[in-house]
A and B are shown apart, each in its own frame.
Chain A
Amino acid sequence: MGKVKVVHYLNQFFAGIGGEEKADTLPHIAESQPPISQQLQKLIEEDAEIVGVVVCGDSYFNENLEEAKAKVLEMIKSFNPDILIAGPAFNAGIKAFSAMYEENPGVDVFKKEVYIIPTADSAAGMRKALPAVAKFATKLAKGEEILSPQEDGYFARGVRVNAFVDERGSMRAVKMLVKKLKGEEFETEYPMPVFDRVAPNPAVKDITKAKIALVTSGGIVPKHNPDHIESSSASKYGRYDISSFDKLSEADHETAHGGYDPTYANNEPDRVLPVDVLRDLEKEGKIGELFKYFYTTVGNGTSVANSKQFAQEFSKELLENKVDAVILTST
């Protein structure tokens, strides 16, 4: 066969167009290959050729899922590729795979449908992952057998494959048990899926009597971010008094959040943390009370472990203060 035809899909950042302020970039075909595609091309040049680069802004894509998906897909198909790299959302009969950091929510959403190669949580990490991406692309496109997640280095998809082994099941099971009893490392052949789901709490009986608290991962903080909450990968959260505010404004609050264009939130912080409306509802008796503090952090790249710990801590305070319900806003 001739060279494998590859289409590379990139967001605005990797396409070199810009960061968060360009996240509304419309889907388009790049006129020339951005550096990351050129690097990938070098790595796969023996077997494959990047025939097109399709670009779309992250915000545009997520906010216009159906439309963006259709447009991007049409552009990808126009190249008639054998393989698509980095397009987890497109289930279109084209072999596709992607590379993501393990805490990227996309991993859980898409790992069953596409192969995903793990990367570090930074753009530099993505570049380091390129050789693995290139190797995998070539293999997949040529129709070579994809081995286990450990052997070929992708996130397990939960697919079971029949295989012949030397020892029968009972023997393997006993050996594992012996290792376990000795306290040694052993590897299960059937890892249990982890479902960390929390059942919904009962509904609020009478919202007109309820004390409601506001929480956000959208990074709203008092002007000048007094506690220096980081713009990404936050290591802390803040608790701030809003009892004297009928609404938020650019004079008194702003967002600390990186990763999205902060103009709209900075000009009118109520667009992320709706203090104005809740204050009105409180005055009209539609809710009992707006809790005097709000809790905030930056959700951008912040680890699951940190977010979990923040919420465990402040939930105790919410309970102590007899808060009946929480509105959590995310950007």
Chain B
Amino acid sequence: MVKEIERAGIPVVHMCTVVPISLTVGANRIIPTIAIPHPLGNPALDAAEEKQLRRKLVEKALKALETEVEDQTVFED
């Protein structure tokens, strides 16, 4: 899906846990996330901390969308 969205001309950031799969399917902007069943959360944290964690990840994704890339790029910390 990520490739077709990109092909349509819309910049897209892929947030996922298994980065090698994201690279294989051809995502260009990639944000590694927490875990397969809860990519944007961590049930071990309390609700406020968890939301803070999610916010950081989403802000990273927005930053990636604002960043020019030439090729597939994994935005590490």
A pairs with B? yes
A200 near B69 (CB under 8 angstroms)?
Answer: yes
A325 near B12 (CB under 8 angstroms)?
Answer: yes
- CB within 8 Å of B: which A265-303 residues: 265, 267-268, 270-274, 276-278, 280-281, 286-287, 297
0/1 string, B35-47, CB within 8 A of A gives 1 = 1111111010000
Contacts A198-B3, A323-B10 given: A271-B65 contact, CB under 8 Å? Answer: no
CB distance from B45 to the nearest CB of A (A): 11
Whether B76 sits at the interface, judged by CB under 8 Å, is no
Which of A45-53, A176-184, A307-315 lies at the interface with chain B? A307-315
Which of A75-83, A132-140, A255-263 lies at the interface with chain B? A255-263
Q: How far is A261 from B13 in the complex, measured between Cα atoms in Å?
A: 25
Question: Of the candidates A201, A263, A274, A330, which one forms a contact with B11 in the assembled complex, judged by CB atoms under 8 Å apart?
Answer: A201
- CB within 8 Å of B: which A208-254 residues: 210, 212, 215, 217-218
Contacts A262-B37, A278-B58 given: A325-B6 contact, CB under 8 Å? Answer: no
Cβ of A267: which chain B residues have Cβ within 8 Å of it?
43
In the complex, the chain B residue whose C-beta lies closest to that of A259 is: B36
Question: Of the candidates A62, A297, A326, which one forms a contact with B17 in the assembled complex, judged by CB atoms under 8 Å apart?
Answer: A62
In the complex, the chain A residue whose C-beta lies closest to that of B47 is: A268
Q: How far is A301 from B26 in the complex, measured between Cα atoms in Å?
A: 17
Question: Of the candidates A202, A262, A312, which one forms a contact with B68 in the assembled complex, judged by CB atoms under 8 Å apart?
Answer: A202
CB < 8 Å A-B pair total: 186
In the complex, the chain B residue whose C-beta lies closest to that of A280 is: B55
B8 near A330 (CB under 8 angstroms)?
Answer: no
Whether B2 sits at the interface, judged by CB under 8 Å, is yes
Which one of A105, A198, A297, A310 has the highest number of Cβ atoms from chain B below 10 Å of its Cβ?
A198
CB distance from B46 to the nearest CB of A (A): 12
Cβ of A276: which chain B residues have Cβ within 8 Å of it?
51, 54
CB distance from A181 to the nearest CB of B (A): 34
- Cross-chain pairs A/B with CB under 8 angstroms, 13 sampled: A23-B36, A59-B35, A198-B6, A200-B29, A201-B9, A272-B38, A274-B58, A277-B58, A315-B8, A328-B13, A329-B15, A330-B16, A331-B17
Q: Which residues of chain B have a CB within 8 Å of any CB of chain A?
A: 1-18, 20-22, 24-29, 33, 35-41, 43, 50-51, 54-55, 57-59, 61-62, 65-71, 73
The 5 closest A-B CB pairs, nearest first, are: A271-B41, A311-B4, A315-B8, A200-B28, A311-B1
